[in-house]
Structure 1
Amino acid sequence: MQPQMQTSSSPAINKSWRVWWQLTRPHTLTAAFVPVLLGTALAIHQTDIHFGLFFAMLIASLLIQAATNMFNEYYDFKRGLDNENSVGIGGAIVRDGVKPQTVMKIAFGLYGVSLLLGVYICMNSSWWLAVIGLICMAAGYFYTGGPVPIAYTPFGEIVAGFFMGMLIILISFYIQTSTITLTSILVSIPIVITVGAILLANNIRDLDGDKENGRKTLAILLGRQKAIYLLAGMFIVSYFWVFALIGMAYTSAWLAIVALSAPKAIRATKGFIGKTIPMQMMPAMKATAQTNTIFGFLLSVGLFLGYFL
């Protein structure tokens, strides 16, 4: 009897873990990992790395990103935007029956843990970071929460790029070096763009549904074709920016390694052309997120190679 009981409960346990894991929208978490790694790679050129601060910053960023995704899940459900057939969502509420209040409690719980990590970071760097950290958390909440969610406006890409790209990079750099340099700002720019590209790709995919629900995203204002052109332009500017920094001797030539991620960016752009059904655009959406991950990772590798070689 005992083996049978274990066998029957195992699928339920596995399903439960899958539900909670999908609720974090794991494909988006690299958008939090890459900036922390890049900020630390920049810092290694100036100081020895404090690994306690690195891991605290990394975990806090991942938790805030996961909580932001849960706020998104909750508020889109409350506004009637999500249903069991919606593409690109965790689906814990509409497909798996998780109570909306439970999702919110978990999200705020993740915020609580990130606050504790923030206290540790501030104790070892500067308490001014507490103010910046709270602003970041507020941006994560109001991205889909509040009376006028940022995600429903044309400014979603800019806000996401700034907070999830530049700000995380600069905080990660600052907690190691106690300063901000022009190079750290300049190197963060292409990540601002590629993080924004993830949101633009998401809005291209959801354009028709968002329009029906009264959103005013950048993709809606531009139209599908021009939004795809903008996405391609964002990728081009990101690569051009890195090579311009190399040409002006702001960074090592090793950063040219980011060119290896270009095929993924091309695939992402082509994947949207001629598509109008959200499910058909999922591979392009995935490729856009992968471009950000690979681009940022290779940028970090280039910085490490420039230091050690």
Structure 2
Amino acid sequence: MKTLSILLGPMRVPFLLLPPVCVVLGAATAFYGEQAFHLKWFLIALIGGLCAHISVNALNEYEDFKSRLDYRTTRTPFSGGSGTLPDHPGKAHWAAAIGVVTLALTLLVGLYFLRMWGPGLLLIGIPGILAIVLYTRWLTHDPLLCLLAPGIGFGPCMVMGVDFALTGTYTVAAVAASLTPFFLVSNLLLINQFPDIEPDAGVGRRHLMIVYGKRAGVIVYGVFLLGAYLSVVIAWLAGWFPATALAVLITAPLAAHTAAGVAKHHNSGIEALLPYMKKNVVITLVTPALLSAGISAGRFFLE
């Protein structure tokens, strides 16, 4: 059991609900636009999405251990690392191995679909792989790249990638749908940086709030939340989504409450922010799931 916990810790298993949500969203747009769903391809794409997330998690854990960032942070359920490597420093190489192996599996999945559909997949495949490999060591040293990379990885790369894997093309619906996880996942990483600003700065990171302050983080968080919902409304008005996609608005009151809480408590310490970090996770998972359900339901109304 101890060995298993050391292996699972760097994978950040509790966070692995996010890839299935994004993969299902890509499958929903493929079904809505092309009425395309192939179970085998869907499962292969899901494996690729999970491996990609495990890889970036494990490599991030390894890099944060090597930089000693994990010794500086105050761990919360949402930030500060898993604590596995500081507790078992002799097993750090396991995290690196997990990151490399799952990265290789991600590449194999990409090659499978590349052989099937051709080089069009590279449009989102290359940025996705670069985000995994470069995130901790390089992207976290640039405020804009650090902010956008997580959202690009789970939004355009994953949602559009799955849509492409199932249809062999990029659809307008997939592009529009990818914006919701783009904004929400970027926000997820942003809000989780609030407790770690000083430790992150201490190891040379330069994310948004280190460079521009917490107030900038609060503003961007609110703007990105608005973008997650507004992008769906615009897509519906443009005729790219069915009216049922507006089911995402169910979480809008919770999002407004969370944004207000972050604005009020961004300087109040970790304990005051934790309830809003938890609510943000709910928003990030439930909103794309509602969008998937709404888009899929719209297909049946077209029948």
TM-score normalised according to structure 2 size = 0.87
Task: Provide the residue aligned with 2:269 in structure 1.
Answer: 277
Task: Provide the residue aligned with 1:37 in structure 2.
Answer: 24
Q: Name which of structure 1's ranges 269-278 and 188-197 shifts more when overlaid on structure 2.
A: 269-278
Shift of 1:204: 2.2
Q: Name which of structure 1's ranges 26-35 and 188-197 shifts more when overlaid on structure 2.
A: 26-35
What SS does the aligned partner of 2:200 have?
helix
8 Å contact 2:248–2:287 — kept in the other structure?
yes
Within a 5 Å distance, the mapping from 1:112-191 to structure 2 comes to 112-129=104-121, 132-145=124-137, 149-154=138-143, 155-191=145-181
Task: Provide the residue aligned with 2:84 in structure 1.
Answer: 92
Shift of 1:286: 3.1
Work out the CA distance in 2 between the residues paired with 1:100 and 1:205. 24
Q: Does 1:214 pair with 2:192?
A: no
Work out the CA distance in 2 between the residues paired with 1:25 and 1:279. 22
Return closer, same or farther for 1:249/1:32 CA change in 2, 3 Å cut-off.
same
Work out the CA distance in 2 between the residues paired with 1:204 and 1:291. 18
Return closer, same or farther for 1:130/1:245 CA change in 2, 3 Å cut-off.
closer
Number of matched residues? 293
What SS does the aligned partner of 2:70 have?
coil
Work out the CA distance in 2 between the residues paired with 1:48 and 1:248. 22
Letter in 2 for 1:199: L
8 Å contact 2:147–2:207 — kept in the other structure?
no
Letter in 2 for 1:95: D
Taking only aligned residues, the RMSD between alpha carbons, in angstroms, comes to: 2.3
Higher helix residue share = 2
What SS does the aligned partner of 1:214 have?
coil
What SS does the aligned partner of 1:82 have?
helix
Work out the CA distance in 1 between the residues paired with 2:172 and 2:259. 31
Match of 2:15 among 28, 32, 35: 28
8 Å contact 1:39–1:171 — kept in the other structure?
yes
Shift of 1:22: 2.9
8 Å contact 2:208–2:216 — kept in the other structure?
no
Task: Provide the residue aligned with 1:6 in structure 2.
Answer: none
Shift of 1:152: 2.8
Match of 2:283 among 291, 305, 309: 291
Letter in 1 for 2:12: R
Q: Does 1:68 pair with 2:56?
A: yes
What SS does the aligned partner of 2:26 have?
helix
8 Å contact 1:204–1:228 — kept in the other structure?
no
Within a 5 Å distance, the mapping from 1:7-26 to structure 2 comes to 13=1, 15-26=2-13
Return closer, same or farther for 1:72/1:279 CA change in 2, 3 Å cut-off.
farther
Shift of 1:128: 4.9
Shift of 1:299: 0.4
What SS does the aligned partner of 2:71 have?
coil
The percent identity for this pair of structures is 24
Which is greater in Rg? Answer: 1
Work out the CA distance in 2 between the residues paired with 1:190 and 1:222. 25
Letter in 1 for 2:125: G
Work out the CA distance in 1 between the residues paired with 2:261 and 2:17. 21
Work out the CA distance in 2 between the residues paired with 1:43 and 1:29. 23
Match of 2:215 among 225, 229, 234: 225
Shift of 1:205: 2.7
8 Å contact 1:270–1:284 — kept in the other structure?
no
Residue ranges of structure 2 left out of the alignment (5+ in a row): none
Shift of 1:241: 1.9
Match of 1:248 among 235, 238, 246: 238
Work out the CA distance in 1 between the residues paired with 2:244 and 2:29. 13
Q: Name which of structure 1's ranges 204-213 and 192-201 shifts more when overlaid on structure 2.
A: 204-213
TM-score normalised according to structure 1 size = 0.86
Letter in 1 for 2:153: F
Residue ranges of structure 1 left out of the alignment (5+ in a row): 1-12
Work out the CA distance in 1 between the residues paired with 2:60 and 2:259. 25
Task: Provide the residue aligned with 2:103 in structure 1.
Answer: 111
Q: Deviations over 1:239-263 (max 9, x none)?
A: 1221222223221110111112224
Shift of 1:216: 1.5
Shift of 1:202: 1.9
Q: Deviations over 1:170-214 (max 9, x none)?
A: 111112111112332122222211111112112223223223333
- Could you list the runs of 4 or more consecutive aligned residues of structure 1 that deviate by over 6 angstroms after TM superposition? none
Task: Provide the residue aligned with 1:202 in structure 2.
Answer: 192
Shift of 1:267: 4.5
